[in-house]
Every structure is written in C-alpha cells, then in structure tokens.
Chains A and B, each alone.
Chain A
Amino acid sequence: MNPVAHRLSLWLLLAPFLLWMLLLVIVPHLQMLWVSFHVRESWDSSVWGVAQYQTFFSESYYWRTFVRTGVMSLFTTLLTLIVAFPVAWYIARLARGRSKGLLFAACLIPFWASELVRTYGWMILLRESGLISTWLQFVGLTDAPVEMLYNDIAVMTGLVYNGLLFMVVPLVTTLDGLDESLVEAGYDLGGNSWTVLQQIVIPWTMPGITSGCIVVFMLTLGSYLTPVLMGGKDSAWFTEQIFTQFITRFNWEQGAALGVLLLVLSSALVWLGLRLSGQSFRRVMG
C-alpha cells in the first residue's frame, strides 16, 4: 500500500472516533464554557462576565457542596480500592479455571441492571421498612425500625458498589501478570506479608490501581442517581446542583459555570493523583 492510501485509510478508520469526540465531547464543552461566561441582562440579551463564577464563590452552599463532593468521591475511591483489592487478588491469583470465570461474572452481573435498579435494590435493603431493619427487629437487636437510608454512609455504600467492577477489572489484569516467583522471592529474602505487599505487590500493581482509581473517581464525582436517591437532606451532591440550575431553575448560565468547575476539579484531582503516585497518564492508560 502506498503512503497516501495508507494515510487515507488511517483517517477513515479514525473518522468515527474523531467525530464522536468532536460532537459529543468537545463541542458541548466549548458551548458550556461559552455559555458560562454570559450574564443575562434581560430575557433576550446578555453580556460577557464572570458573575456565575462569583456567585459560586460567594454562595457558601455551592462551594461547600463542591468540596464535599470532591472529598466524598476521594474517600469512595479509596474505599472501593480497599474492597476491590482482595477480591481482585483472589480472582487473579487464587481462583483457578471455572471458579475464576464465575467470580468475574459475579462482579459483572450487577451491571446488567441499570443504576436505577441497583440503587433501588439498596433502598429495599436499607430503608426503615426494609429487609435489614425488619431482620434486626426480628432477631431482637432493636425494638423500633431503623432508618439506614438518607445519610452519607448509605450514599458511600451505593457508590462503592457502583464503582467496584471498574476497580476490579484493571486490578485483576495487572495482578494476573505478577509472577508468583516475585512474591516468593519477597518472602525468601526475609520479607513478611506486609513488606511483600507494600514493596513488591503494590508497586507492581500501581498502573492498575491508578487507572482503576481514575475511572472510579470520575464515575463517583459525576454520579447523580445514587446520591439523589440514597442521600439525605444534608448530603447534596454537586451534580444535583447542576441539574437544578439547568432543569428546575432554567438558569443555563449558572449550570454551565458549575459544570465547568466540576470538570476543572476532576481534571485537577486526577492530575494531582498521577503526580503523587508517580505514574504518567500514558503508562496507566496505554
């Protein structure tokens, strides 16, 4: 094939992807950025300005929710990692043959249901008249119904559950490649389980940990249904505010500004995470 034809076929292959990126990612974001710097004067005229951003910083409710969402997402990511690591270790290194596939499927099956159904599942379990509450009363641990929904712990539980698969998959992939003799050498040279984990297993798994954390963090930060349905009055999520601005208040300018801020926050935190863990984006995703 001559170079021109080669280039052409490459472009043709890339075209759908580039089109997708352009139409669904770049254009909406530019539009959002553009809208966010407009300040409405009357119902049909507007001028350039940063009023929306000023509102964000002056209204403590906005930036408090913003910080809360960031911190809770980080915490959720960490929790997901802690829960997913032993699961991934078991699937990658201890399970053999059929049981390996079955375990993987067990992680995957919940994702056949939509997020709504999964969240509803948690609600059935946790609500005042739910299974756990009824059971606790039946066993006699409590006298009155217990409400376990509508608080931060409930939200976190739902979010960890949503993120689990996206953490387990990259961890299993990297742990699969870890040579058993490296672990044995770690013990042979005098290490205990903790030092082997910390000095050998975790450095090896770092690319998987980082990519899993990035995905789960992004998913959590941008999730909407779980925090709305399972969170209480005080556990507002930042996406809820964006929704409110766009849909309830029809204040697209404010909504766009909040959307831009969320994008900046997630990018900044991912960048920071990569720097702190000494990984490069190319190595993690490549």
Chain B
Amino acid sequence: MTPANADRKSVDGEPVNREDGDRNCADLECRGLVRRFGDTAAVDHISLTIPPGQFFSILGPSGCGKTTLLRMLAGFEQPDSGDIYIRDQRMNEVPPNRRPVNMVFQHLALFPTMTVAENIAYGLRRQGVKTAERQQRIKQVLAQVGLPELSDRNPHQLSGGQRQRVALARCLVLEPTLLLLDEPLGALDLKLREQMKIELKHLQKTFGTTFVYITHDQSEALVMSDQVAVMRQGRFDQLASPEELYHNPATPFVASFVGDNNRLPGRVTSVQNGIAAITLANGQSVQGRAAEPGVAAGAAVDLFVRPESMSVKQDHPQQSLTRLSATVSTTLFDGANSRLEMRVGDQTLYARLPQDGRLGAYSAGSVAELSWDPRRAPVFLSGTG
C-alpha cells in the first residue's frame, strides 16, 4: 500500500497566489524513504507526491514516525535510503538552510531574544532582502496573519494563539515552496485549537503555499486537509481525501483511528455481491460490506459501524438495512453530539441520538432497535491490525 500518486481529482483547493504555470511538477515527491534508529524503522518505505498548493496532512498516533519524516523533509535527518525531490530538485544532500522549505516547530521555537519583527526579519536578512523592502514585507505578513500591532513585543509577551501566528508569519514571509508544520496546535487549549484550525486552513488558501501538516488529532486532519495520509509504525496505511478516509477506510486501523467507530467481532456466514452476512458472538446476524478480499464464509472478522450511520428504533426500517437489537446502558447527553451507550453481548456500542431531544425514551435496560446500511459498515479480517 504505497499510494505514490495522490489522486489529483480530489485536489479542490486551487492555489491563489502562485503564478508558475507548471502543473505537472509536484512540490514534493518522496520515493521509498527509510530512516532507522537501531533495529526499528521509524520511517519505513514512505512514498508520496504532493501537488502545488495542497494542504497535506500526515495523521498517526504518537511515536509512529511523523516527526522523523518531517525532519527528513526539512533536512535535519538523513534518510537511510530513498529520495526527496522538491520541484524536481533532489534534496537529499542539500543542507536545511538551503532547502526551499520552512518548518513550524512543535513548540514554535520563536527566538526569545528577539522581538516579533526581528524574528520575522531574521529569515529575510539571510535572504539579503534590503531594509525598506524587509520592513514592508514584515508589515504585510503581520497584517495577513492578523497581528498588525505587535511587531515590537517579545515572544513571551504574546498569548499562545498570537505566538502561533508569529511562527507562521516568520515562515510564510520567506515564501517557501513547502511549509512543514509539526503538531503546531498541540499546546493550545481546546477552544483556541478549534479556532486556529479554521484559521490555518484559510491562511493556507490565501498564501497558496503547500502545507505538510502532521498531527495525531484526526479532527485537525479532517477539517483542514485536501489529502490525508494515515501513518502507522512508519508506514502509510492509507492516503486519501478526508471524505474517502472517513467513509472508505482501507484498513481496520484507519477505521478505528479516524472518527468514532464501533467494532463488532463475528464470523462470516456468507458473502453476496460484496455484502457479508456475519454472526455475532451472541448469535445475532448483521450485514456489512466486505472491505478485504479475504473476507469469505467462515472467516473471523470485525465489522465497523459509525455511531451516526446507525438509526435507533426506526419503526419501519427499509428492506436494504440490516438490524440489531441492543440493550441500553445509559444516555450520554452532549448537545448535538448526544449518544446512546448500549451493549450487545459483551460489546459496548455507541449510537448518535436523533436530534429531536427525546432522550427520555431510552431508559437503562430498555431494548433499542438499531439499523444501518450494510454498504456503510466495512468488514475486515480480524487480527490484521
């Protein structure tokens, strides 16, 4: 599973500012990147292609090798094998300060001995930009990130969100081909993170710079990205658009890591037209879409069904829907995100509640009738990850 060529059709964000007409030249291309620490490969044969102007995310649990991959792109780590091309230029031997790449560090790494303006000026000075133009560009980029008044502050006098913006401005003012971001929102509180997510996406569209964004937060990846690569143990499990990832996960890992999901283990009794009939541990029979070639009669499998894909207690379910009875444990009220906790055998199951506020209708111990479209419930062989 090495999706070397990202699906170009799903690139919906047309870059705004970029003038070069060469659409065929990818901003970043990696071929078979490997980086080992001792015996374990932190990055294990990663290949990817990112067209210009894309917001590309790498999503994976902590320790899966995201930072190592990003640091290879920035030039701080050398790959053990494989090649990195930026706009068709081979980058392997190019030192970090010569790459057309800038990085927003995990803890931002703003220079504490410099003011905001000096932080931004640092890179421009290195490029030899003259004083007048430099000041003009600093002013402009600060306005673009929404911090026009703060150029003389020191970084420690700024709030978390403001520091974030300065770190972005410091890189974007240099007009890099590629901007690398290493979990930049990790240090922010929840509310600010939600706000910065949207802002980052807008900034990326205005600047038109290609972003490579790494995160362990699936919601960040889904909200902001044009393409997401789900990474696990140094490899990409799937590389697709957020919608595709969400609705058609390629592996059980993706199914459980991206978004909420219920997992129901069982055994296949038959497969017809790609729809597998499964007997659960407690004897009930349900249906799902066979997502792997190996899903055949007799196989031990896991069925994944999302809380919002299930409808609860519909009186007349359509013929095409599969049904399951579950015992209500409790209701979890959370506004628009209210859920019902249920049990089927020894499995716990969650379903999104309908938005009509009838929470009281499901008391603990009552039976809820669940139904879902089998095509929206992928079935994977159990034990494949």
Bound form: Cα–Cα A195–B127 in Å? 12
Cβ of B191 under 8 Å from chain A = no
> At the interface, yes or no: B317 with Cβ under 8 Å from chain A?
no
With both chains docked as a complex, state the minimum distance between the C-beta of A171 and any C-beta of chain B, in angstroms. 16
Q: Mark B101-137, 1 if CB is under 8 A from A, else 0.
A: 1110111010111100000001100110000000000
Task: Please tell me if the beta carbons of B107 and A191 are within 8 angstroms of each other in the complex.
Answer: no
Residues of B within 8 A of A186 (CB): 111, 122
**Chain-B contact segment, one of A133-141, A150-158, A198-206:** A198-206
B174 interface neighbour in A189, A195, A199, A204, Cβ under 8 Å: A189
Which of B97, B112, B114 contacts A190 (CB under 8 A)?
B97
Contact A187 B95 (CB under 8 A): yes
Interface pair B111/A200, CB less than 8 Å apart: yes
In contact, B126 and A188 (Cβ under 8 angstroms): no
CA distance A186 to B96 in the complex (A): 10
B107 contacts across to A, CB distance below 8 A: 179, 181
Cα A44 to Cα B76 with chains together (Å):
77
Query: Is B87 at the interface (CB under 8 A from chain A)?
Result: no
A182 CB within 8 Å of chain B: yes
- Name A's interface SS: helix
Interface assignment of B221: CB less than 8 Å from any CB of chain A: no
The answer on a CB contact under 8 Å between A204 and B113 is: yes
Residue A147 lies at the interface, judged by CB distance under 8 Å to chain B? no
Tell me which residues across on chain A come within 8 A of B170, comparing CB atoms.
189
Is A189 touching B102 in the complex (CB atoms < 8 A)?
Answer: yes
| A190-B111 in contact given A181-B105, A181-B106, A199-B122 (Cβ < 8 Å) | no
In the complex, the answer to whether B112 meets A189 with C-beta atoms within 8 Å is no
A186 to B112, CA, bound (A): 12
Taking CB atoms and an 8 Å cut-off, the chain A residues in 124-178 that contact chain B are: none
Given A181-B107, A184-B76, A189:B95 Cβ within 8 A: no
Q: Does A185 contact B (CB under 8 A)?
A: yes
Whether the Cβ atoms of A190 and B95 lie closer than 8 Å is no
* A residues less than 8 Å from B102 (CB atoms): 188-189
Q: How many residues in B have their beta carbons less than 8 Å from beta carbons of A? A: 23
How many chain A residues have a CB neighbour from B under 8 Å? 18
The total of interchain contacts (Cβ-Cβ below 8 angstroms) comes to: 59
Which of B96, B103, B112 touches A204 (beta carbons < 8 Å)? B112
Of all chain A residues, which has the CB nearest B112?
Answer: A204
Given the complex, which residues of A lie within 8 Å of B72, measured CB to CB? none
Q: A46–B112 Cα gap in the complex (Å)?
A: 59
CB distance from B28 to the nearest CB of A (A): 16
Is there a chain A Cβ closer than 8 Å to B278's Cβ?
A: no
User: Any chain A CB within 8 A of the CB of B212?
Assistant: no
Once the chains bind, are A185 and B126 in contact (CB under 8 Å)? Answer: no
Q: Is the CB of A184 within 8 A of B126?
A: no
Q: Is A192 in the interface zone, CB < 8 Å from B?
A: yes
Query: Within the assembled complex, what's the spacing in Å between the Cα atoms of A195 and B103?
Result: 18
**With known contacts A189-B123, A190-B123, A191-B122, A182–B96 Cβ distance under 8 A:** no
In contact, B109 and A191 (Cβ under 8 angstroms): no
Contact of A181 among B101, B109, B114, B171 (CB under 8 A): B109
Q: Which residue of B lies closest to A196 (CB)?
A: B97
Contact call A188/B112, Cβ cutoff below 8 A: no
Q: Across the interface, which residues of A come within 8 angstroms of B76, CB to CB? A: 184, 188
Q: Are B96 and A195 in contact (CB under 8 A)?
A: no
Residues of A within 8 A of B114 (CB): 203
B326 within 8 A of partner (CB)? no
- Complex CA–CA separation, A191 to B126 (angstroms): 6
- Using Cβ atoms and an 8 Å threshold, which residues of chain A touch B181? none
A189 touching B105 by the CB < 8 A rule? Answer: no
Q: Which of A181, A184, A206 contacts B96 (CB 8 A)?
A: A184
**A185 and B122 alpha carbons, distance in the complex (Å):** 10
CA distance A203 to B76 in the complex (A): 23
| Distance of A24 Cα from B109 Cα, bound (Å) | 47
- Asked if A185 contacts B105 (CB within 8 A), the reply is yes
How far in angstroms is the closest Cβ of chain A from B73? Answer: 11
- Contact in complex: A189, B122 (CB < 8 Å): yes
Q: Which of B97, B106, B113, B127 contacts A188 (CB 8 A)?
A: B97
Chain A: CB-nearest residue to B173: A189
Is B50 in contact with chain A by the CB < 8 A criterion? no
In angstroms, Cα B112 to Cα A181, docked, is 12
Known: A185-B111, A203-B113. A190 touches B126 (CB 8 A): yes
The minimal Cβ–Cβ distance linking B72 to chain A, given in whole angstroms, is 13
B196 in contact (CB, < 8 A): no
Task: Indicate if B74 sits at the interface (CB-CB under 8 A).
Answer: yes
* Distance A192 CA – B128 CA, assembled complex (angstroms): 13
Query: Please, which residues of chain B bring their CB within 8 A of the CB of A200?
Result: 111, 113
Given A181-B105, A181-B106, A199-B122, check contact A192 B111 (CB 8 Å): no
B127 touches A190 (CB 8 A): yes
Residue of B nearest to A179 (CB): B109
Contact with A along B182-221 (1 / 0, CB 8 A): 0000000000000000000000000000000000000000
What are 12 sample pairs from A and B whose C-beta atoms fall under 8 A apart?
A: A179-B109, A182-B111, A186-B111, A187-B96, A188-B96, A188-B103, A189-B126, A190-B123, A190-B126, A192-B97, A203-B111, A204-B112
Given contacts A181-B105, A189-B123, A203-B113, 9 further A-B contacts (CB under 8 A): A184-B103, A186-B111, A188-B74, A188-B101, A189-B122, A190-B127, A190-B174, A191-B126, A203-B114
